Chains A and B, each alone.
Chain A
């Protein structure tokens, strides 16, 4: 059972060992609207925390996925290239963006739990 954390930027991280799968939340996809394009990073790329790791474009606007933690990309969700709409239909599942090998785990503690994230949306 993985440990899921949430960021203020409406990203989620499912953490298993030292690898986190990263995506955007249902709230984020509903705000973006229909996603029509996703630009993914290349496997092996190293990112600082906060760096722009992926681009997401909806019919309305462009946005980016900031790297929630420092680390190295180990896998990207190639399915999004042909089916970017997976981000809308299954944001917490098959609409994931990439997997990152964490350079450190320190930042994870300050992230929200699902309950805290839900609370932040209502606040």
Chain B
């Protein structure tokens, strides 16, 4: 216990989390707040009703620069980066040779020769190694000295309006460099809750001041990883390592929308990313398994790892994320099922402590996303 504590990294907001009474847990190698005294349900509902502040400084921030960097990055992700203008961003996955997913990330074009990547905290070292190995001719800078804050919820834009009006004018998946109280920040309109909101990249030494500034607004409360997980589950968003991994393809994971049309069969930039053959074939021919959402019938939550069976008791899939939805006030889940069972309202069963619990396949997101698209 002691040694594990010592090895954990701390985000720039560690002192603030302690001051706010957070319960700290190890996550992605960092000591992170899983919840504050309000607790997961209240934090979750507050984010849906007002605004929540999340410390996501464990995530990796990487800048890649050089002439021809767009084509180089496109060799690793099934995305057409050519459609992005400066400060515009896109969701992407790093694929592997088998078509599986190495990580998911957000790519922001800073200029023709410079892209800003935000990757998962637990994957960032391997992502860096992956980039260095595959793009040896480009400058790859890991922004170790930066924090990342997320401000999410219907009140986020009003708060941002009072701090940085240019950022408050952003539409979904766009960014802008602004000054908040004299501190330079890169703000994007994005997030992981399904709500309108922002992510704020800021120098580590200024992160606490910006966080305190945001928390000064009565609408803003600190939110831990527990509520972050229930919020993203309601919003139908995948958690890497759970709802997708090296053995699942973006097609199986229901991320077809993230594969740009020009990168698909018949497109002008067809293929050219790891595992393209398998992924493009799946787009045409379909897959055996697919990720779907579930609403659990009854009150008992169905957790990650639970086996799914059909009415005859035959195995048909498994749950990859499961928990309680504070917004819907019922247990919800997501997981993979055989293709015959993906239609909404299909009834399947999870074995929980030996008892079959009924789940109904439900269209994702289970709670409507409220991104601001202008």
Separation of A55 and B303 alpha carbons in the complex (Å): 14
Cβ–Cβ contact A59 & B40, under 8 A: yes
Q: How large is the interface on A (under 10, 10 to 19, 20 to 34, 35 or more residues)?
A: 10 to 19
B130 within 8 A of A: no
B301 within 8 A of A: yes
Q: A57-B300, A57-B301 are in contact. Are A33 and B226 (CB under 8 A)?
A: yes
Cβ–Cβ contact B301 & A62, under 8 A: yes
- Contact pick for B299, options A60, A62, A81, CB 8 Å: A81
Separation of A62 and B320 alpha carbons in the complex (Å): 16
Query: In the complex, which residues 322-338 of chain B have their Cβ closer than 8 Å to any Cβ of chain A?
Result: 323-324, 326, 331
A65 within 8 A of B: no
Cβ–Cβ contact A60 & B34, under 8 A: yes
Closest to B329 in A: A36
Pairs across A and B, CB under 8 Å, 19 listed: A33-B35, A34-B40, A34-B42, A36-B41, A36-B331, A37-B299, A39-B300, A55-B353, A57-B300, A59-B226, A59-B230, A59-B323, A59-B324, A59-B326, A60-B34, A60-B323, A81-B299, A84-B299, A88-B39
Instruction: Taking A33-B40, A37-B299, A55-B353 as given, write out 16 further A-B residue pairs in contact, using a Cβ cutoff of 8 Å, ordered by the A residue number.
Output: A34-B40, A36-B41, A36-B301, A37-B300, A37-B301, A39-B300, A55-B300, A57-B324, A59-B40, A59-B41, A59-B230, A59-B323, A59-B324, A60-B226, A81-B299, A88-B39
Cβ–Cβ contact A36 & B35, under 8 A: no
Query: In the complex, which residues 256-304 of chain B have their Cβ closer than 8 Å to any Cβ of chain A?
Result: 299-301, 303
In the bound complex, residues from chain A placing their C-beta under 8 Å from that of B226 are 33, 59-60
Separation of A34 and B323 alpha carbons in the complex (Å): 12
Q: Is chain B's interface secondary structure helix, strand, loop, or mixed overall?
A: mixed
In the bound complex, residues from chain B placing their C-beta under 8 Å from that of A57 are 300-301, 324
In the bound complex, residues from chain A placing their C-beta under 8 Å from that of B301 are 36-37, 57, 62
Q: A55-B353, A59-B323 are in contact. Are A36 and B299 (CB under 8 A)?
A: yes
Count how many chain B residues have C-beta atoms less than 8 Å from C-beta atoms of the other chain. Answer: 17
| A55-75 to B contact mask, C-beta < 8 Å, 1/0 | 101111010000000000000
In the bound complex, residues from chain A placing their C-beta under 8 Å from that of B40 are 33-34, 58-60
| B223-263 to A contact mask, C-beta < 8 Å, 1/0 | 00010001000000000000000000000000000000000
Cβ–Cβ contact A62 & B303, under 8 A: yes
Shortest C-beta distance, B350 to chain A (Å), equals 13
Closest to B34 in A: A60
In the bound complex, residues from chain B placing their C-beta under 8 Å from that of A59 are 40-41, 226, 230, 323-324, 326
Separation of A88 and B37 alpha carbons in the complex (Å): 13
Separation of A57 and B301 alpha carbons in the complex (Å): 7
In the bound complex, residues from chain A placing their C-beta under 8 Å from that of B303 are 62
Query: In the complex, which residues 14-44 of chain B have their Cβ closer than 8 Å to any Cβ of chain A?
Result: 34-35, 39-42
Separation of A37 and B298 alpha carbons in the complex (Å): 10
In the bound complex, residues from chain B placing their C-beta under 8 Å from that of A88 are 39
Separation of A60 and B34 alpha carbons in the complex (Å): 9
Cβ–Cβ contact B39 & A36, under 8 A: no
In the bound complex, residues from chain A placing their C-beta under 8 Å from that of B326 are 59
- Contact pick for A34, options B39, B299, B331, CB 8 Å: B39
Separation of A34 and B36 alpha carbons in the complex (Å): 12
In the bound complex, residues from chain B placing their C-beta under 8 Å from that of A60 are 34, 40, 226, 323
Shortest C-beta distance, B58 to chain A (Å), equals 18
Cβ–Cβ contact B39 & A37, under 8 A: no
Shortest C-beta distance, A88 to chain B (Å), equals 8
Query: In the complex, which residues 34-61 of chain B have their Cβ closer than 8 Å to any Cβ of chain A?
Result: 34-35, 39-42
Separation of A41 and B126 alpha carbons in the complex (Å): 48
Separation of A84 and B35 alpha carbons in the complex (Å): 20
Separation of A57 and B324 alpha carbons in the complex (Å): 9
In the bound complex, residues from chain A placing their C-beta under 8 Å from that of B35 are 33
| A68-100 to B contact mask, C-beta < 8 Å, 1/0 | 000000000000010010001000000000000
Separation of A58 and B35 alpha carbons in the complex (Å): 13
In the bound complex, residues from chain B placing their C-beta under 8 Å from that of A37 are 299-301, 324, 331
Closest to A38 in B: B299
- Contact pick for A33, options B39, B300, B331, CB 8 Å: B39
Closest to B324 in A: A36
Shortest C-beta distance, A58 to chain B (Å), equals 8
| A9-35 to B contact mask, C-beta < 8 Å, 1/0 | 000000000000000000000000110
Separation of A93 and B331 alpha carbons in the complex (Å): 26
Shortest C-beta distance, A29 to chain B (Å), equals 10
In the bound complex, residues from chain A placing their C-beta under 8 Å from that of B353 are 55
Shortest C-beta distance, A19 to chain B (Å), equals 27
Query: In the complex, which residues 351-369 of chain B have their Cβ closer than 8 Å to any Cβ of chain A?
Result: 353
